[in-house]
Each structure stands twice: as structure tokens, then as C-alpha cells.
Structure 1
Amino acid sequence: MTDFITIAIFNFPQEIVVLKSVLENEGIVHYFENETIVSVDPFASLAFGGIKLKVHPNDKEIVQTILDNLNNNLKIV
């Protein structure tokens, strides 16, 4: 997982719920850095730089397409 790159940053845990489900259904290996700490203490989002979506560089294009589709259809905050 050291090769993983940050492709998106979110401020609140509720912003990643649908995205997490889509990524899991597509079988894309990913993780959300700082998800747990921000879920426990929402004010920590600023201190830790938000919830960072990390993916393998090979999956960057497909994940970007998923993010674009969600932003166009769901208007993620």
C-alpha cells in the first residue's frame, strides 16, 4: 500500500458512504486514510488534512471516472 496515491480528499465521513460502496462493488482496492479518526472526532478533519482516498496508480483513471459520475449525479458535498 506504500505505492498508493491520493486521488481525492473529503472533509466529512458522510461524503464517502456511497463512494465506498461503489468502489467495493467494482472490486477496486482502496482505503480511506484518516477515516476512523475523523469519524470519532469531526474537528480532526482539519488537523489531519481530511479523509484521503488512496488507490493504486493503475486504478487512477477508473476511480476518477467514478468520482466524476458521482459528482455529476449526486453532487457530493
Structure 2
Amino acid sequence: MIINDKKMDQYLEVQLIGHKDSKIKAKTSAGQYIFVYPTTEQTNDPLFWKSLKILLIIKCGFQLLNNSSIDS
């Protein structure tokens, strides 16, 4: 996920970790954990939250596949 802060004129690349209520926990490429607060429009948009959950499920599934050892 890439975050665009309109005040800073730069992008911040983050890895989604999870969410609780209407805040999203993410890890920056520098290894710091931050919270991302969606806009009011995003908070009230069920499609936004559904998409976020799908991304987190895909991420978790990918990590499980990478951490499993498959013997032939």
C-alpha cells in the first residue's frame, strides 16, 4: 500500500499488518510501525474495508506459503 500525504508531497510505502475499528496498522520500509487513519469517506465505505480485508488475507496466505516447507 502506498500512502500519499497531501501536506508532504511524498509517498510512503507500507506493509499492511491489520486493522481495528477505523485505524489501520502498517509497517514502513524502515521497519517502523504506524497507524493510518482512513478519511471519513473511506471509513463509511464498505467496499474500502472489504478490499482491505482481502489484501490482508492474501498477505497472510502468502506468508503461510513462504513459511511452510514442502518436501518432494
TM-score if structure 2 supplies the norm length? Answer: 0.35
| Higher strand fraction (1 or 2) | 2
TM-score if structure 1 supplies the norm length? Answer: 0.34
Looking at both structures, which has the greater relative contact order when contacts are Cα pairs under 8 Å and sequence separation is at least 6? 1
Q: Report which of the two structures shows the higher radius of gyration computed on alpha carbons.
A: 2
